[in-house]
Amino acid sequence: MCLYGLTWTLGSHVPNTVSDIFNPKQSEVFCAKVNVEFFVRTVIISFLPLAGAFTSPIGQFGHAWANVLQKGDPEWPDVQLYMVSSGLAQEGILSSVALGIDRHKYLEQYSPLFGRSGMTIMPYLMRPKSLGSVVLKSRDPFDPPIVDPNYLSHPDDVQALVNGIKLAVEVGRTPAFVKTLGAKLYSKDHLTHSCVFVIGPYSETLLRRIYTVFKSLVEPLRSCAAHQFGSDEYWRCFVKNMATTFYHFAGTCKMGPASDPFSVVDQNLRVRGVAGLRVVDASVMPVVVSGNPMAAIIMIAERAADLMKEEWGATEGGAGQQYSSSTHAHQELSSGSSSSGYQTVST
């Protein structure tokens, strides 16, 4: 689970895009308002090989992990804070498409921030207690399965995200963000400031018109307006309206013992009841890891490679036959085959 919607506006002096960083006037303002050393480290050094801001992708990400429920092992985080150096509406409507946010809700809440520099902190739920399901719709293999993610059905998941929001807000209040970047959490009291930033030199009459148009838009999430902004009740409502899915799907065909009716693969990653089929990805995780699963998936794949080499006698210095497609075959599951459905046929 991922929670979108927590976005901060930044001071007008902060270069937030490539064009800003290479704009002499913008860089001069930033240098004067922050400090020369920071400017040199982030801009001048960028022209040196393998150094500086442009040695990593635009939209640099930062991550932090925390145990916000204060349950169990304090070293086992339940929330990940994912920080992006871009405002949620900086690229306009594109963000709602890329992130899968309901377009109407997105426009209602964030359209006044279109084109404005900012930053975003997204709390991720590490180990959700809400369990979904993927079941067959029929015996027809071409029928799509019935997928029920069942998000936020466990109250601990909602509370973990609420606590994650409060932690993100505290991070956004630190001097590094407030004093250096001029960061301010986007909420209803940004209305006039946002319009002045966007409109700039235009007439006061036009500004009033835009104020009238946007007045109903720049406020606490409309469906949560009955709650005081920033209260636990407001954030619970916010979670239920803005939480969604993201990357890193896992656990749809879990590994487990034969006694577990919900397990799909055995300890060797072989699908029970299907001959010649293994699953080697995050699907086999019985419980998702507390963070980005790439490293864990690589290790699953490495282990699968070892298992297959061992089975085919292809391990370095190992006993048994050397690998040959003519000496091994996978047959249909029969009464004489193993529980995994794998058989070796001698020729």
Beta carbons of 45 and 51 less than 8 angstroms apart: yes
Residue 193 confidence (pLDDT) above 90: no
SS3 category, 106? helix
| pLDDT for res 40 | 57
Higher pLDDT, 86 or 83: 83
| pLDDT for res 266 | 95
| pLDDT for res 10 | 83
Domain 2-17+58-244 in this protein, CATH class: alpha beta
- Cβ neighbours, 10 Å, residue 130: 16
Higher pLDDT, 307 or 245: 307
Cα 313 vs. chain centroid, distance in angstroms? Answer: 41
Higher pLDDT, 245 or 37: 245
| pLDDT for res 150 | 92
| pLDDT for res 318 | 53
The mean pLDDT of 11-19, rounded to a whole number, is 59
Q: pLDDT band for position 204 (50/70/90)?
A: very low
Beta carbons of 10 and 181 less than 8 angstroms apart: yes
Q: How far apart are CA 147 and CA 154, in angstroms?
A: 18
DSSP state of 227: S
Q: How far apart are CA 326 and CA 347, in angstroms?
A: 8
Residue 154 confidence (pLDDT) above 90: yes
Q: pLDDT band for position 330 (50/70/90)?
A: very low
Residue 185 confidence (pLDDT) above 70: yes
Q: How far apart are CA 105 and CA 114, in angstroms?
A: 14
Q: How far apart are CA 160 and CA 123, in angstroms?
A: 9
pTM (whole model) above 0.85: no
| pLDDT for res 168 | 93
Given the residues 154, 227, 248, 330, select the one marked as catalytic: 248
Kindly report, residue by residue over 93-142, the tens digit of the pLDDT: 777 777 777 788 788 788 888 877 788 899 999 988 998 888 899 999 99
Beta carbons of 35 and 20 less than 8 angstroms apart: no
CATH number of 250-347: 3.50.50.60
The candidate with the shortest Cα–Cα distance to 244, out of 110, 144, 105, is 105
Q: pLDDT band for position 221 (50/70/90)?
A: confident
Q: What is the DSSP string of 183-202?
A: -EE-SGGGHHHHHHHHHTTS
The mean pLDDT of 226-251, rounded to a whole number, is 88
Domain ranges of the chain: 2-17+58-244, 250-347
Q: pLDDT band for position 180 (50/70/90)?
A: confident
Kindly report, residue by residue over 28-75, the tens digit of the pLDDT: 555 555 555 555 555 555 555 655 555 555 555 788 999 999 887 888
Catalytic (active site) residue 193? no
Q: How far apart are CA 210 and CA 217, in angstroms?
A: 11
SS3 category, 98? helix
